[in-house]
Amino acid sequence: APEQRGSASGLHALGFAVGMALGPAIGTPLYQLSPKFAAVFGASVLLAGLAASALLPGGTLALQPRGQRVAGKLTLPLHGIFAYGFAESALFALYPAVLVEAGMRVSQIGIIFLCFVVGSIIATLPLTRLGDTIGRRRTLSGCVLVGTLGVLGLLWAPTFPLLLACATLAGGAVGSSYALNVALVGDQLSAEELPSGMALFTIALGLGCVAGPLVTGAAVAAFGGAVTFVPTAIVFAALLARLAADLPEAERHLQRH
């Protein structure tokens, strides 16, 4: 049902976050034994997933001949999921290298990433339920604001405990934004348009994942590790401005319905 769409998307995102949590928790000690052990473990999990997918019922989703019309309805969630992909890819692709260069141990880096994912696991369902109650755009706005502060805290936190707190905060906010954006797609489209909409959603996520390391890597190369998440903060600020501009119209739409 539309009034429960955020919670349903939250369960999907929660499964994703649990997998992200198990990766650092299991992979870090394996890496400390041998990098080969960690690589073999990751490959084994992927193969297990491939085998499990073969047992699922088959089916294909054809794109509807209305791609441009569907895209026009999804400008906000496409912007949101691009920002999510940008942030996540910058975090996982470049932040570990910045921390290693700063002299941090592998075990400490694993704890930071574990806190990020644990924050996502803890916050996703409560925040998506909140979105069902007070509005998904308003809840997403809060997540984007807190996520911006959290990722900047990952750079500038003066102590390790505070760094872990920022990682948990950023994980809860950024991770929950994924589920909220999925729910916004469902809000805007009919059942017939959903296959096309989710295809566009996946493309926007992929573009964000590509742009994140490229732009962030160029910034780090030019200005150093202290600016690692400044590009992410700029992307989030643009999304927050977009949400603020759209919020009054969204609230009027809700009142009419």
pLDDT digit string, tens, across residues 7-44: 545 555 556 656 655 666 677 677 777 777 777 777 78
Q: Contact, 127 vs 230, CB < 8 A?
A: no
Q: What pLDDT does residue 170 have?
A: 94
Instruction: Give residue 149's pLDDT band: very low, low, confident or very high (50, 70, 90).
Output: very high
CA angle 80, 81, 85 (to 5 degrees): 125
Q: Contact, 187 vs 5, CB < 8 A?
A: yes
Give the residue carrying structure tokens 């962030």: 216
Q: Does 184 score more than 70 pLDDT?
A: yes
Q: Does 97 score more than 50 pLDDT?
A: yes
Q: Does 158 score more than 50 pLDDT?
A: yes
Tell me the pLDDT tens digit for each residue of 42-55: 778 767 766 765 66
Instruction: Give residue 239's pLDDT band: very low, low, confident or very high (50, 70, 90).
Output: very high
Tell me the pLDDT tens digit for each residue of 241-250: 989 887 655 5
Instruction: Give residue 139's pLDDT band: very low, low, confident or very high (50, 70, 90).
Output: very high
Tell me the pLDDT tens digit for each residue of 107-137: 899 899 889 988 988 998 899 889 888 888 9
Q: Contact, 139 vs 247, CB < 8 A?
A: no
Q: Does 138 score more than 50 pLDDT?
A: yes
- Residue 197 CB neighbours (<10 A): 24
Question: How far is the C-alpha of 38 from the C-alpha of 19, rounded, in Å?
Answer: 15
Q: What pLDDT does residue 10 have?
A: 52
Q: Does 142 score more than 90 pLDDT?
A: yes
Q: What is the pTM of this model?
A: 0.76
Q: What pLDDT does residue 73 have?
A: 85
Burial of 147 (0-12, 13-18, 19+ CB in 10 A): buried
Question: How far is the C-alpha of 257 from the C-alpha of 249, rounded, in Å?
Answer: 13
Q: What pLDDT does residue 1 have?
A: 45
Give the pLDDT mean for 58-81: 70
Q: Contact, 170 vs 156, CB < 8 A?
A: no
Chain mean position to CA 24? 17
Question: How far is the C-alpha of 136 from the C-alpha of 130, rounded, in Å?
Answer: 8
What are the respective helix, strand and coil percentages of the chain, to the nearest 5? 90, 0, 10
Question: 48's torsion region: left (phi>0), alpha (psi -120 to 50) or beta?
Answer: alpha
